Structure 1
Amino acid sequence: MIFKGKVAIVTGAGQGIGFEICRMLAEKGTIVVLNDVDQKLADNAAAIINQQYDGKCLSMPGDSSDVDFINNMVANTVKLYHSLDIVIANAGITLFGDFLTFTKESFDKVMGLNLGGSFFLAQAAALQMKQQNEGGAILFTSSVVGHQAVKDLAAYAMTKAALEMLAKNLVIELSPYKITVNTVAPGATLTERTTKEADYEKEWSAITPMGRPAYVTDIAHTALFLVSDQARHITGQTIIVDGGWTSVSILPTGVK
């Protein structure tokens, strides 16, 4: 996959899946704008990547649910690098909560980042890509819970299902400009956050047909394919990366 000389924005990339996507893109010669709401995480992540791939990663911390920040991030990226070829809307928040007592504050927070942030980042990116007249690739990060119900995740799950529908709808809007829009839906994945959970790896290994949860590299490889030129005739699609879990949908013992 040829990425050399391309320019990408990846949100929610201070660690975990987003970081690995940035690292792989930089490895292949992409200039990567790495976003995270946590400035320390973003700066440290960019520094690690630049130690390996000098000058390929720029930290741009900020709240990717804020439309003004999104527009400024896209504008600053283009000002610095003169183009924008790839955008991966990976930022998101998971808030567990019983449906009957879920608060409006929590609801607005999940919707604002997971849906609003992704929607308006795609909008800003598409406007720039349209102006460039060379096509582009947009990728959303969904989840297996957009396909399989899990207790206490009603609000989060509906955002993930909605992102997959958004990708389908944008096929109509953006295909005339040769912009692809796809979604990757990770299952259980070993990240800095999940490995802190007791028995996470053991439990998910037992209920995943392939015998283990995903590594961040599994998700990142799929993401890179979907934003590559090799996938330029794939749009409006979702690839689930879950080791077969959604085929059997066995819940962890802690989830009833």
Structure 2
Amino acid sequence: MNFENKVAIVTGAGQGIGFEICKQLVTRGAIVILNDIDEALARNAADEITSDKGICIAMPGDSSDVTFLQQMVNTAVSRYGSLDIVIANAGITLFGDFFTYSPTAFNRVMQVNLGGTFFLAQAAANQMKRQEQGGAILFTSSVTGHQAHKDLAAYGMSKAALEMLAKNLVIELSPFKITVNTIAPGATLTERTQDDPSYEKTWAAITPMGRPAGTLDIAQAALFFVSDYARHITGQSLVIDGGWTSISPSPF
């Protein structure tokens, strides 16, 4: 998959899945704007990824802020002339019992996971429409949008909604040759999950393929969806979970 001269925005990419997606895009020749709400994390990640094969610049900021989202799109166009790929990867997980879940937690999950994705897609699609060359938009959902998971009612709800958003936007975006798809990762080894010493062992035991995903497993699927190989694929969601949703045993 060659991304030479393609310009991409990836949100929530200071570490984990988003970082690996940026790394793989740059390795294949893309120019990437890497976003994370943590400024130090974003800048360190961009510095680590930038190489002689491609460019990665940091744009720290809140991916649920509509004004900031437009700034990222404007920066891509003013610096590099176009915007070809957008991956709305930023999201937050706030666990909580349904009976006591607070409005503050609920609204923040929806603001970041749904609002940030919706308005980034809107800003990007308007730019791609003006360019008249098509483009690719990708959302990051979750297996919790397909299967119930204890204490994640709000989160799972938000992720299922992203998959419906992708389907609905097929109607809006296809006339402009813009694809919109969703990946739904399962258990994945990242900096965050590896803080739990039992995480890998637990998920290896209940995943049919015998292990949780690595970030590269998710990134490779993401790159396919935003590559020219997937130009006739839109409105789809791909679960990447080693078979877990087929049997869905609880980790608890």
Same fold per superposition (TM over 0.5): yes
Aligned counterpart, 2:49:
49
- Whichever residue aligns with residue 236 of structure 1, its letter is G
Report the Cα distance in structure 2 between the residues aligned to 1:122 and 1:46, rounded to whole angstroms: 22
Report the Cα distance in structure 1 between the residues aligned to 2:196 and 2:143, rounded to whole angstroms: 19
Q: Is the 8 A contact 1:12 1:37 kept in 2?
A: yes
Aligned counterpart, 1:207:
206
Aligned counterpart, 1:148:
147
The RMSD of aligned alpha carbons is 0.8
Aligned counterpart, 2:30:
30
Compute the displacement of 1:2 (Å).
Answer: 2.0
Compute the displacement of 1:55 (Å).
Answer: 5.3
Aligned counterpart, 2:231:
232
Q: Secondary structure at the match of 1:84?
A: coil
Aligned counterpart, 2:195:
196
Aligned counterpart, 1:4:
4
Q: Secondary structure at the match of 2:197?
A: coil
Report the Cα distance in structure 2 between the residues aligned to 1:109 and 1:7, rounded to whole angstroms: 29
Q: What do the CA deviations read for 1:118-146 (whole angstroms, capped 9, x no partner)?
A: 00000000000000000000000000000
Report the Cα distance in structure 2 between the residues aligned to 1:94 and 1:234, rounded to whole angstroms: 29
Judged with a 3 Å threshold, the aligned counterparts in structure 2 of structure 1 residues 37 and 200 are, in CA distance, closer, same or farther, namely same
| More displaced stretch, 80-89 vs 68-77 | 68-77
Q: Is the 8 A contact 1:26 1:53 kept in 2?
A: no
Q: Is the 8 A contact 1:191 1:215 kept in 2?
A: yes
Q: What do the CA deviations read for 1:171-192 (whole angstroms, capped 9, x no partner)?
A: 0000000000000000000000
Instruction: In structure 1, list runs of 5 or more residues that go unmatched.
Output: none
Q: Is the 8 A contact 2:182 2:238 kept in 1?
A: yes
Q: Is the 8 A contact 1:83 1:132 kept in 2?
A: yes
Question: How many residues are treated as equivalent by the alignment?
Answer: 252
Judged with a 3 Å threshold, the aligned counterparts in structure 2 of structure 1 residues 219 and 55 are, in CA distance, closer, same or farther, namely closer
Q: Secondary structure at the match of 1:97?
A: coil
The 4+ residue runs of structure 1 with deviation greater than 3 A are: 52-55
Judged with a 3 Å threshold, the aligned counterparts in structure 2 of structure 1 residues 247 and 17 are, in CA distance, closer, same or farther, namely same
Instruction: In structure 2, list runs of 5 or more residues that go unmatched.
Output: none
- Whichever residue aligns with residue 82 of structure 1, its letter is G
Aligned counterpart, 2:15:
15
Aligned counterpart, 1:161:
160
Report the Cα distance in structure 1 between the residues aligned to 2:15 and 2:96, rounded to whole angstroms: 24
- Whichever residue aligns with residue 177 of structure 1, its letter is F
Report the Cα distance in structure 1 between the residues aligned to 2:102 and 2:30, rounded to whole angstroms: 41
Aligned counterpart, 2:58:
59
Q: Is the 8 A contact 2:28 2:53 kept in 1?
A: no
- Whichever residue aligns with residue 8 of structure 2, its letter is A
- Relative to the length of structure 2, the TM-score reads 0.99
Compute the displacement of 1:100 (Å).
Answer: 1.1
